[in-house]
Amino acid sequence: MWATKESKNKSILADKYRVGRRAHVILTLALLLVGCFSLAIGPANVSIWSILKKLMLNELLTSLEYIIIFDIRLPRLLLGTCVGAALAISGAVMQGLFRNPLADPGLIGISAGAGLGAIIAIVLGGIIPGFITSILGNYLVVFFAFLGGWATTLILYTVATRRGQTSVATMLLAGIALGALAGAISGILVYKANDQQLRDLTFWGLGSLAGASWAKVTVAGPLIGVAIFFAVRLGHGLNALALGEATAAHIGVATQNLKNNAIFAVAAATGIAVAVSGGIGFIGIVVPHLVRQLIGPDHRTLIVNSGLLGAIILVLADVISRIIVAPAELPIGIITAVIGAPVFLWILLSNRKEGNW
Amino acid sequence: MLQTHDVCVEINKKKILKNIKFDVPAGKITALIGPNGSGKSTLMRAISGEISYQGKIFINERDINFMKAWELAAIRAVLPQNSSVAFPFTVAEVIHIGLRNSTESSTDHLINDALDCVGLLSLAKREYSQLSGGEQQRVQLARVLAQVWSPLIDGSAKWIFLDEPVSSLDISYQLEVMNIMQNYADRGGGVLTIMHDLNLTAMYADNVGLLHNGKLLCFGTPSQVMNDKILSEAYSCEIKVNKTPKNDKIFILPQATNT
C-alpha cells in the first residue's frame, strides 16, 4: 500500500504547467504582433512600412508622421496594454480571492468608487479649490477617479476586517452595498450635470483610450507595473485558497497576508486603470475565464496569461474603436461589451453542456 | 505528544469549550467523541490553529500560538469535515497544491503514493468536481497524507487531525481509511480524529476523549470511557456496550426508545 510506484501523474502536472508557461511566450509574441498592427492602423493615412523604412535609413519623419506614431498611437498602445493587463489580472486575482469565477473588481465596488470620483471631478470641478485644480491640471478626473477607487477599497477593508482577519464574504456584500451607494450618488450628480458635462460623463463611463498621452503612460505604467508584480506572486497562495481558506492555512499559507496583498494589488491596478481609461467592462471577467478554459486553473500561469490576453484584447478593441466609425471614435467599452457579452454567454453555455454549473 | 492545557473557546460571548486538558501520545489513534454540539469540531479547529483560544496547546512541546503557518504545516495536516474545491483542478493538482510547503524537491512520487494509498491512482487526471462525495473525501485524505507523508521528522512525530473522516464513505472504505490511519500511527505518527461511529471508534482508537457541553467528560482507553452509563448520559439515550465473544472487542448497541 505504501510502496512507491513509477510516476504516471508526473506528466500531467508538469505538462499542464509547461503549457501555461509556453502560453506566456505565445501570448507575448501575439501582443507584439497586435501592437505593430495597432501602430499601423488608424483613420490617418500613415504607412507604418514607410515609417519603418525611414527609421532604418535614418531619414527624418514628417512632423505629421511623428505626431501620429509617437505622440498619438504609441502612448495609446502602451496605455491600452497597461490597462488591459491591469483589468484582466485584477479579474483573475479577484476570482481566485473570492473562489468564484464570476468575480471581478466591479463586483466589490472598486470600479464604481473610481467612477464616482471621476463624476465628482467632472460635475463638481468648479467648486474644487483653485490650488488643487491648478496642481492637477488636466489630471483632475484621473486623480479623483483613483482616489475614489482607493477610498472604496479602504472602506471595504475596514468594514470587512475584524481582529486582524478580513472576511471575504463580508467584503463581497459590503462591496455590493458600496457599489450601489456610489451608483446612487453618481446618479444624483448626473442629474445635476449640464450638457457638456453629460457628454463627458457618457464618454468616460463607456471607456476610452482617446485621452492617452505620455504623461498618462508615465503615471499609470509604473503603478500598474508594481501592482502586476505583486499580483503575479500570488499564484501559489490563490491555488491554495481554491481549497478553502481554512485548508489554505492548514497547508502553510499566511492567508491574511495573501488577502491583503490581493486586495491592494487589485485596488491599485483597477483604480489607476479606471482613472486613465474610464469604465471598460468585461475584460476583468471574461479574460480569466477564457484563459482558464484554454490552459487550466493554475493561478501560477493564469494570472500572467490573463494579463497578456487582456492587453491583446484591449489593444484590438481600441483599433476597432478607432476605425469602425472613422474619423469619429466609438467608446472602447462598447466594443469590449459587444465582444465580451457573447463570449461570456458562450462560456456559460459550454460549461452547462459539460455539466460544470 | 499533543497537549492541551485548560483550553477555553468563547464564540459570540458563549463558552463553547471549557478547560479542556488532555495529553495525546504519538504513535496511537486518539478519537474525540460526543453528541452534536459538544464542541468536538471547535476543539479540533483550536488544535489546528484555526481559531483563537485561551489556554495553551503544544505540539511536540512547541506552543502552536508561536508557530507560523508554514511551520505548523510541516508537522501537521488537517482533514476538515467538508471540503470544496473552486475551479476545475484535477485530483493530482489538488494534492499538489497541498504540498506547497513540502521540502521535497520533487512532489510527483508523493502524489502517486498518496493516491495509491487511498485507491484512487486511476482517477489522478480526473477533474475533482466530477468525483462522488466519497471519492472527494478520499482525495482530501490523500492530500493530507501527502502533506505529512513521513510520520517522523527529526525523531518527532508528525500529526494528522481528522474531522469525521469516514462520514461520506461506505463501510468498506470506512475500514480502509481507518486501516490507513492505523498504519500511520503504527509507524510513529500521531492521529487525532473526531468520530461519530462509536463502533469504529471502539475498534480502532487507542484513546478516546468524550466531550459533552464543551467539557471533557473523560479521557482514556475505549474500555475505560465507553461503558453503558457514561455513553448513555453523554448521548442522552440508552446505549448498551457489549463485548464480542471471539476477541473481547467492544461493540455498541443503541437501544430504541420504545423497547
Percentage of chain A with pLDDT > 90?
27
- 3-state helix/strand/coil string of B9-42: EEECCEEEEEEEEEEECCCCEEEEECCCCCCHHH
Q: Which residues of A touch B89 (CB under 8 A)?
A: 239, 242, 296-298
Is B259 a member of any domain? no
Is any Cβ of chain B less than 8 angstroms from the Cβ of A253? Answer: yes
Name the residue among B75, B22, B82 with its Cα closest to residue B220: B22
A211 contacts A142 by C-beta, under 8 angstroms: no
Question: Residue A2: which pLDDT band, with cuts at 50, 70 and 90?
Answer: very low
Put residue A350 in one of left, alpha, beta given phi > 0 → left and psi -120 to 50 → alpha.
alpha
Is B146 a member of any domain? yes
For residues B140 and B130, give the distance between their C-alpha atoms in angstroms, rounded to a whole number: 14
B163 contacts B79 by C-beta, under 8 angstroms: yes
Instruction: Let me know if domain A16-349 sits in CATH 1.10.3720.10.
Output: no
- Selecting from B49, B108, B143 the residue whose C-beta is nearest the C-beta of A7 gives B108
A290 contacts A309 by C-beta, under 8 angstroms: yes
List, for residues A26-39, the tens digit of each pLDDT value. Answer: 999 999 999 988 98
Is any Cβ of chain B less than 8 angstroms from the Cβ of A9? Answer: yes
The whole-number average pLDDT for the span A271-290 is 87
For A55-59, A220-224, A240-244, A258-262, which range has the lowest pLDDT when averaged over its residues? A55-59
B32: CB partners within 8 A, 6+ apart:
B40, B43, B44, B192, B193, B194, B195, B208, B209, B211
What DSSP element (H or E) covers B64?
none
- Selecting from A1, A244, A247 the residue whose C-beta is nearest the C-beta of B117 gives A1
Interface touch B116/A99, C-beta < 8 Å: no
B112: CB partners within 8 A, 6+ apart:
A4, A5, A6, A7, A8, A9, A10, B121, B124
What residues does B9 pair with on adjacent strands? Answer: B17
Question: Residue A18: which pLDDT band, with cuts at 50, 70 and 90?
Answer: confident
Question: Quick one: chain A helix, strand, coil %, rounded to 5?
Answer: 75, 0, 20
The whole-number average pLDDT for the span A60-81 is 87
Is B90 a member of any domain? yes
For residues A204 and A339, give the distance between their C-alpha atoms in angstroms, rounded to a whole number: 19
For residues B76 and B59, give the distance between their C-alpha atoms in angstroms, rounded to a whole number: 9
Q: Which residues of B touch A13 (CB under 8 A)?
A: 92-93, 96, 108, 111
Query: What is the model's pLDDT at position B81?
Result: 85
**Pairing, β B29-33 against β B190-194:** parallel
The whole-number average pLDDT for the span A221-234 is 90
Is any Cβ of chain B less than 8 angstroms from the Cβ of A294? Answer: no
- Does the pLDDT at position A330 exceed 60? yes
- Does the pLDDT at position A1 exceed 50? no
Low-confidence ranges of chain B (pLDDT < 50): 259
- Selecting from B78, B86, B101 the residue whose C-beta is nearest the C-beta of A99 gives B86
Interface touch A242/B72, C-beta < 8 Å: no
- Averaged pLDDT of chain A: 84
For residues A224 and A85, give the distance between their C-alpha atoms in angstroms, rounded to a whole number: 9
Interface touch A254/B77, C-beta < 8 Å: no
Look at the block and give the residue holding cell 505622440.
A71
Name the residue among A99, A3, A156, A76 with its Cα closest to residue A299: A99
List, for residues A119-134, the tens digit of each pLDDT value. Answer: 888 888 777 777 777 7
Query: What is the model's pLDDT at position A96?
Result: 93
Query: What is the model's pLDDT at position A339?
Result: 86
Q: Which domain, by its residues, includes B50?
A: 2-254
Instruction: Return the CATH number at B137.
Output: 3.40.50.300
Look at the block and give the residue holding cell 478516546.
B208
Which stretches does DSSP call E strand in A195-273?
Answer: none
- Selecting from A4, A246, A296 the residue whose C-beta is nearest the C-beta of B109 gives A4
Q: Which residues of B touch A249 (CB under 8 A)?
A: 49-50, 69
Is any Cβ of chain B less than 8 angstroms from the Cβ of A196? Answer: no
Q: What is the dihedral of CA A101, A305, A70, A316, to 10 degrees?
A: -60
Look at the block and give the residue holding cell 509617437.
A70
For residues A326 and B81, give the distance between their C-alpha atoms in angstroms, rounded to a whole number: 61
Q: Which residues of A touch B64 (CB under 8 A)?
A: none
**Pairing, β B2-11 against β B14-24:** antiparallel
Mutation site, A9, A162, A256, interface B, largest B CB count within 10 A: A9
Number of domains in chain B: 1
Q: Give me the residue spans of the domains in chain A.
A: 16-349
Grid coordinates of B190: 500521531
